[in-house]
Amino acid sequence: MSTTVVTGSTSGIGAATRAALREAGHAVVGVDLSGADVTADLSTAEGRQRAVDAVLDRCSGRLDGLVACAGLGPHVDDPARIVAVNYLGAVDLLDGLFPALRAGSGPAAVAVSSVAAAHLTWETNPIAAAVDSGDFSGVEKAVASAGEYRGQFAYAAAKNALTVAVRRRAVEWGAAGVRLNTVAPGAVDTPLLRAGEDDPRYGASIRGFTAPLGRHGRPDEIASLIVYLLGPHAGFVHGAQFVIDGGADAALRPHAV
């Protein structure tokens, strides 16, 4: 039986992924703030290390899959916390659990990014310097130009940085036999999206935007793609990002390739 870790496992896409993996026969170790197999706050370095240590203890240093799904939405007022969870909360677990994945059977990992990752280039990403230096103390200042919308700026920056981080690891991970990809959901009906709909800054635009397919996505639809990417039928899929957004990115950027 494959053992797979899912962060953000108690709600939204993470909960749907946990359920889909269990249905597919995986032993799943959930990580979340509460109600999970491993409780840890991924917004702090101590919490991220706690999560890594607890997972390694549970799986005895051998892991077959990892889904880095935990995340915060742009409605959160603290941009540094958004970056800490959405970027470091994924990357630190990817790196911390890489040795265990190398010891696994047909190992693969998926990081949950966002279509918002394409709203910036790496050259214009306000946290690119922090990512390259490892010093995240200036995140709030870096996104301050967005004013009350700094949460959205931080969210897009963190998701862009996460996608770049996955691509940067493709050579090393591929050589080790561990596949690593990202999925980039659009608007998905989750508690995170509903919190955004209730926010006075973002609510109207979220409620007013409809993807070309005419609806929001469902968490189980994103989970099905994640399960595929972890499985043997995706054996040659590596270092890629899969947009799953009902056609929203194609409508906004029809000439992007």
pLDDT band at 236 (very low <50, low <70, confident <90, very high): very high
Give strand pairing partners of 27. Answer: 3
Residue 230: its pLDDT value, please? 98
Q: Is 103 exposed, middle or buried (0-12, 13-18, 19+ CB in 10 A)?
A: middle
- Residue from 87, 155, 202, 228 carrying the catalytic annotation: 155
Q: Has residue 73 got a pLDDT over 90?
A: yes
pLDDT at 18: 98
Cα gap 146→4, rounded to integer Å: 38
pLDDT for the residue 209: 82
228 a catalytic residue: no
Domain ranges of the chain: 3-186+219-244
Topology of the domain comprising 3-186+219-244: Rossmann fold (3.40.50)
When pLDDT is averaged across residues 5-27 and rounded to a whole number, the result is 98
Residues of the chain by 3-state class (helix, strand, coil), percent to 5: 50, 15, 35
pTM comes to 0.96
Measured in whole angstroms, the distance separating CA 233 from the mean position of its chain's CA atoms is 22
pLDDT in tens, 198-214: 999 988 888 888 899 99
Distances (CA, A) of 171 to 103, 125, 141, 177, 178: 18, 23, 33, 10, 10
Name the average pLDDT for the chain.
96
pLDDT > 90? residue 81 = yes
